[in-house]
Amino acid sequence: AQSVTQPDIHITVSEGASLELRCNYSYGATPYLFWYVQSPGQGLQLLLKYFSGDTLVQGIKGFEAEFKRSQSSFNLRKPSVHWSDAAEYFCAVVSPSGGYQKVTFGIGTKLQVIP
């Protein structure tokens, strides 16, 4: 069974500092990988996704993520955090087999940005 681990439940960074949110997955093959962001009271918005090809993917709002097969990781990064980035971030894995869209989300990482 596939699983997703986000080891950091809460992260606090200073505005302007760099950010890295960790995501590790467990799945037999290379899954489809996603990062979503959720602001309070809102639904989820897709930041970026990885299906295949270049392992460094660029997303919206200046975010990027790197897929590392050897480490089963898909960490999200941003070089300089803005106060508006404060939100909860979810890593998700989709198993591509069978044509079914079975999605497994991580528990989420809540990001606090301090001035």
Q: Does 15 bind other proteins (CB under 8 A)?
A: no
Tell whether residue 99 is a contact of other proteins (CB under 8 A). Answer: yes
Please give the size of the binding site for other proteins, defined by CB under 8 A.
25
**Residue 100: both structure tokens together:** 């079914």
Closest distance of CB 41 from other proteins, Å: 7
> Cα–Cα distance between 31 and 61 in angstroms, integer?
24
Candidate segments 54-62, 66-74, 78-86, 102-110, binder of other proteins by CB under 8 A? 102-110
Nearest distance in Å: CB 2, other proteins: 11
Does 49 bind other proteins (CB under 8 A)? Our answer is yes
Q: Which of residues 19-48 bind other proteins (CB under 8 A)?
A: 31-32, 36, 41-46
Dihedral pair phi/psi, residue 83, rounded to 5°: -60, -30
41 versus 115: smaller Cβ distance to other proteins: 41
Distance CA 41, CA 97 (A): 33
- CB within 8 A of 41, min separation 6: which ones? none
Residue whose token pair is 């050897």: 70
Binding site for other proteins (CB under 8 A): 31-32, 36, 41-46, 49, 51, 90, 94-96, 99-108
